[in-house]
Amino acid sequence: MPRIHFELGTRLSPDEVVRALTDFSAHRAQVWRNIDSAHLKVHDQGPGWADVTEGNSLAGGVWERSRYEWGKEPGRVTTTTLDSNVWSAGDGWTYRITPATGGGSTINVDVARHGKGAKGALIGAVLSVAGARMLREDMRRVLAPLENRLPNS
């Protein structure tokens, strides 16, 4: 079971990072490149939570229905897997976003994954080896265009 931790810095404020993580509009599939619009469905949402299915067509299709929660603790966003074709229920992500000295934010991310079936086991094996680096770079690619909109970019 891959347990992955990574950290990255951004010029975005903690509130801007939380907004990027919790924006479930149609724009989400454009911002998060690992999500395609055909695999994005918001089942329900309210203040501080959302029930969302996200995924993409890679590797024959990978999807996950998750409950996102935020706002209970400043700078903390969690996702809990409810159902997936590759991950076990109860898996998920925890993002802790704190102000960085001199501006911007530091983002600490913890990921827990239990592969389900052959596809989940294979993806889990890849994550065990290169997960932190891959996921950190994916997040950098998501945040970079948002940072470029900031003054003094």
What the chain holds in terms of domains, given with CATH numbers, is 3-148 (3.30.530.20)
Mean pLDDT of the chain: 92
pLDDT at 1: 61
pLDDT bracket for residue 121 (50, 70, 90): confident
Which residue would you say has higher pLDDT here, 68 or 38?
68
Contacts of 118 (CB under 8 A, 6+ apart): none
Q: In this model, does residue 105 exceed pLDDT 60?
A: yes
Of 54, 91, 93, nearest in space to 70 by CA: 93
Alpha helix segments (H runs only) across the chain = 14-21, 28-31, 117-148
Asked which of 83-87, 105-109, 131-135 is least confident by mean pLDDT, the reply is 131-135
Which pLDDT band holds residue 153 (cuts at 50, 70, 90)? Answer: low
Place 22 in a pLDDT band, splitting at 50, 70 and 90. Answer: very high
Mean pLDDT of 112-123: 89
Round to the nearest angstrom and report the end-to-end CA distance of the chain: 39
- Over residues 49-79, the pLDDT tens digits come to 999 999 998 777 899 999 999 999 999 999 9
Segment among 39-53, 57-71, 119-133 with least mean pLDDT: 119-133
